[in-house]
């Protein structure tokens, strides 16, 4: 060959080819990107607190942690320890000062951020606040001994100790947890309200405050119940007739009281002796299936003489309502029963404990349904969708029924991020926070269709109507989606 042939490998013409090869290799490198951000945490002990941080990048980035903007030394006596996967361990909380002059203990241990760096750049995570659980000893208000008359309203006040997280309050009677009866007992701001005192309410009551730091018990308050001295049975109350005329669903609005959820307006007419009743009580329950055992009636003292609001209900339920007159401990006959079906709403909370587990060429997504009080109807299934990236394009799946897991085939290594939302007859509710899993080389390949994706559990791919969701790709691009 002539000189031109030599230049292909040994002459000047080899320089552009060599540069092209070098640039082609570098094109695969990319700067870091945070995949899993650390989350706010409460240090509860005795085990270490964990802060997670995952990042992608090529070359693989180096992880370092900062506390309040300052890099951690990771050298003893520093209580922090860095694991190879980038997780930060706090072996013990730093020493804190003691409360004095009535001031609360400091619960804030600082704000942590992680940095992922390679030669192409640095990515910084969101800040995560670490705090410690605290519960002081002294109650702000101790319950007091009380004497009440049968039929009267009784309130035992309790102001729990200051704590972080804010402590929950429960009541005990005669050494046992008090079973709260709907309509008779209400706990608000820590205080116990009894709508109508009965002889069986006599006893020793104790207020118990509990949070992650422990629990505190108040003094025992002695409650005595007496019969009214001039009590006579109001025989005329038996002649009262109540006609429940209307039950109307009120328009949803900002919560105005201690009872969340929908509310209804009850209207009734009273006939018989002139105004014999001292109060009126609403009785309500969810309607059972034909032939089924009826649910117990809940009671709620109404603040009205011919109409009143009743709250604390649940969306997507069929209710029965009636009204009862009373004077002291005497009760008149119940009214007629009216039915009302409350419409379903989308779930007001996302599924919980969403996890991703690697499998044999797949990723198993599992979750727990939202809390029952946030269902707002019947959970008919779940929407699961990916936050499209280089490993998995945007796609979504509909899991029908009570199934709480889904197996997704993996084609290549990389990050897999998903969200899950519960679905009622009103639509999909609030989605869960993104959960990601990073698969390395050799851990992802396309498997056969798993059982959990058979048509019995998985409907054909369809685009979500929720705002701010990534657009769904056409049907053939959905992973392992059965043909319609």
> Domain ranges in the chain?
30-93+103-132, 146-226, 235-341, 352-475
More confident residue, 152 or 474: 152
| The pLDDT of residue 228 | 74
Summarised one tens digit per residue, pLDDT across range 363-375 is: 899 999 999 888 9
Answer whether residue 16 shows pLDDT above 80: no
pLDDT at 90 over 90: no
CATH 2.60.40.10 given to domain 146-226 = yes
pLDDT band at 446 (very low <50, low <70, confident <90, very high): very low
pLDDT at 470 over 70: no
- CATH architecture of structural domain 352-475: Sandwich (2.60)
The share of the chain scoring above pLDDT 70, in percent, equals 74
Q: Which CATH number among 2.60.40.10, 3.90.1150.10, 3.40.50.11540, 1.10.3720.10 corresponds to the domain 30-93+103-132?
A: 2.60.40.10
Q: How confident is the model at residue 192 (pLDDT cuts 50, 70, 90)?
A: very high
Judged by average pLDDT, the poorest of 64-73, 198-207, 286-295, 437-446 is 437-446
Of the pLDDT bands very low, low, confident and very high (cuts 50, 70, 90), residue 231 is low
pLDDT for residue 387: 76
pLDDT for residue 166: 86
pLDDT at 10: 43
C-alpha span between 290 and 231 (Å, rounded): 43
Assign 78 a pLDDT band (cuts: 50, 70, 90). Answer: confident
Lowest mean pLDDT among 76-80, 228-232, 269-273: 228-232
pLDDT at 275: 56
pLDDT the model gives residue 229: 62
Q: Which residue has the higher pLDDT, 52 or 464?
A: 52
Confidence of residue 471 (pLDDT cuts 50, 70, 90): very low
Check residue 389 and give its pLDDT.
Answer: 58
Asked if pLDDT for residue 238 goes beyond 60, the answer is yes
Q: What is the pLDDT of residues 35-57, one digit of tens each?
A: 999 998 887 766 678 889 999 99
Quote the CATH superfamily of domain 235-341: Immunoglobulins (2.60.40.10)
Q: Is the pLDDT of residue 383 over 60?
A: yes
Query: What pLDDT score was predicted for residue 45?
Result: 64
Local confidence band at 414 (pLDDT 50, 70, 90 cut-offs): confident
- One fold for both 146-226 and 352-475? yes
Q: Has residue 20 got a pLDDT over 70? A: no
pLDDT of residue 437: 82
Out of 150-159, 204-213, 284-293, which region has the weakest mean confidence (pLDDT)?
A: 284-293
Residue 232 has what pLDDT?
Answer: 54
pLDDT at 249: 92
The confidence score (pLDDT) of residue 332 equals: 85
Over residues 120-143, mean pLDDT: 89
pTM assigned to the model = 0.44
Average confidence score pLDDT of the chain = 77
Provide mean pLDDT across the span 309-332: 87
Across the range 336-349, mean pLDDT stands at 93
pLDDT of residue 265: 93
């Amino acid at each position: 060959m002539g000189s031109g042939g030599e230049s292909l490998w040994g002459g000047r013409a080899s320089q552009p080819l060599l540069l092209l090869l070098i640039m082609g290799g570098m094109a695969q490198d990319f700067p870091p990107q945070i995949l899993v951000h650390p989350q706010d945490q409460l240090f509860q002990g005795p085990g270490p607190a964990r802060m997670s941080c995952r990042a992608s990048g090529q070359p693989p980035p180096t992880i370092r942690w900062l506390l309040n903007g300052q890099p951690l030394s990771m050298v003893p006596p520093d209580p922090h320890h860095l694991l190879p996967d980038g997780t930060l361990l706090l072996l013990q909380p730093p020493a804190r000062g003691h409360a004095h002059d009535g001031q609360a203990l400091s619960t804030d241990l600082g704000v942590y951020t992680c940095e992922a760096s390679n030669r192409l750049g640095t990515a910084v995570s969101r800040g995560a606040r670490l705090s410690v659980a605290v519960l002081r000893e002294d109650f702000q208000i101790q319950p007091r001994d009380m004497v009440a008359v049968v039929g009267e309203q009784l309130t035992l006040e309790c102001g729990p100790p200051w704590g972080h997280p804010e402590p929950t309050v429960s009541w005990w009677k005669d050494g046992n947890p008090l079973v709260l009866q709907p309509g008779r007992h209400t706990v608000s701001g820590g205080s116990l309200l009894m709508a109508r005192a009965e002889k069986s309410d006599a006893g020793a009551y104790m207020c118990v405050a509990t949070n992650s730091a422990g629990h505190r018990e108040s003094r025992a308050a002695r409650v005595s119940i007496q019969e009214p001295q001039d009590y006579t049975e109001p025989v005329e109350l038996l002649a009262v007739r109540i006609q429940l005329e209307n039950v109307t669903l009120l328009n949803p609005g900002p919560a105005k009281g201690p009872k969340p959820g929908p509310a209804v307006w009850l209207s009734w007419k009273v006939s018989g002796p002139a105004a014999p009743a001292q109060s009126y009580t609403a009785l309500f329950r969810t309607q059972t299936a034909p032939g089924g055992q009826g649910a117990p009636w809940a009671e709620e003292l109404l603040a009205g003489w011919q109409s009143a609001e009743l709250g604390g209900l649940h969306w997507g339920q069929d209710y029965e309502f009636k009204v009862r007159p009373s004077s002291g401990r005497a009760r008149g006959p119940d009214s007629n029963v009216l039915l009302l079906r409350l419409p379903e709403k989308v779930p007001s909370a996302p599924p919980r404990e969403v996890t991703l587990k690697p499998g044999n060429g797949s990723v198993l997504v599992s979750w727990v349904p939202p809390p029952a009080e946030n269902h707002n109807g019947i959970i008919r299934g779940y929407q699961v969708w990916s936050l499209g990236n280089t490993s998995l394009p945007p796609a979504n799946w509909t899991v029908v029924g009570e199934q709480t897991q889904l197996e997704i085939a993996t084609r290549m290594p990389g990050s897999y991020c998903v969200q899950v939302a519960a679905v009622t007859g009103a639509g999909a509710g609030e989605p869960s926070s993104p959960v990601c899993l990073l698969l390395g080389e050799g851990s992802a390949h396309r498997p056969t269709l798993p059982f959990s994706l058979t048509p019995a559990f998985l409907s054909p791919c369809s685009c979500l109507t929720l705002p701010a969701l990534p657009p769904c790709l056409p049907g053939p691009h959905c992973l392992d989606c059965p043909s319609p």
